[in-house]
Chains A and B, each alone.
Chain A
């Protein structure tokens, strides 16, 4: 299986809701990433997990809470979001950097709308 899957495909939530985005891969990759992509813009890195530990947090507001429960799963918990958080949220995975640099495999994304 060489795909990264993301659920749900679309999510509409109010500013007081709590929801979660899910990402899964079964390629044995030990690095997983969350990106945010606004319309007509490149993806912006949010978080990186390496061996299930948070390696990078790009100063993301605390209303976004990542979680990596095991090597195949990555969650993004959402709470008290703002309308400007509406975007496409992409998950990606790769082999760990180690002594090499590896390509990232991207999921199809979750289209989030905050009302």
Chain B
């Protein structure tokens, strides 16, 4: 069965510190993985997808098929990064499976 696990419900870091939001998935085929972000009072929006290998707002994520992970990283956290982050898996069949989400709080 397809499953996405985000082990941390809440992650608090100080401004300027590195941040890593963990995501592990369970899927037997070739997954497509995304990170979506929801800032306070804003809609869900795409942060990045593994296939594009872009860096958005300083965030990067590398797909590790051996460890079935897609962790989100940023070397220096900013206060405006505080938000809810969802790791999302799809196999291309219109089913997008969300992880439980990690709330990131960046402290001043």
**Which residues of chain A have a CB within 8 Å of any CB of chain B?**
31, 33, 41-45, 48, 50, 55-56, 90, 92, 97, 100-101, 103-104, 106-109
Task: Tell me how far the C-beta of A45 lies from the nearest C-beta in chain B, rounded to whole angstroms.
Answer: 6
Contacts A41-B101, A42-B86 given; 15 further ones with Cβ under 8 A? A33-B94, A33-B96, A42-B99, A42-B100, A43-B44, A44-B98, A45-B96, A48-B94, A48-B95, A56-B95, A92-B44, A97-B92, A101-B92, A106-B43, A108-B43
Interface string of B24-58 (1 = CB under 8 A from A): 00000000101000000001111001010000000
Contact of B93 among A33, A41, A44, A97 (CB under 8 A): A97
**Which residues of chain B have a CB within 8 Å of any CB of chain A?**
32, 34, 43-46, 49, 51, 86, 90, 92-96, 98-101
Once the chains are docked, how many angstroms separate the CA of A60 from the CA of B37?
26
How many residue pairs bridge A and B at CB < 8 Å?
Answer: 42
Task: Tell me how far the C-beta of A58 lies from the nearest C-beta in chain B, rounded to whole angstroms.
Answer: 9
Contact indicator A109/B96 (Cβ below 8 Å): no
Could you say which residues of chain A place their CB within 8 Å of the CB of B101?
Answer: 41-42
Task: Tell me how far the C-beta of B13 lies from the nearest C-beta in chain A, rounded to whole angstroms.
Answer: 20
Once the chains are docked, how many angstroms separate the CA of A108 from the CA of B44?
8
Contact of B94 among A55, A100, A107, A109 (CB under 8 A): A55
Contact indicator B43/A109 (Cβ below 8 Å): yes
Closest 8 CB pairs of A and B: A42-B98, A106-B44, A101-B32, A103-B46, A48-B94, A101-B92, A108-B43, A97-B92
Could you say which residues of chain B place their CB within 8 Å of the CB of A41?
Answer: 100-101
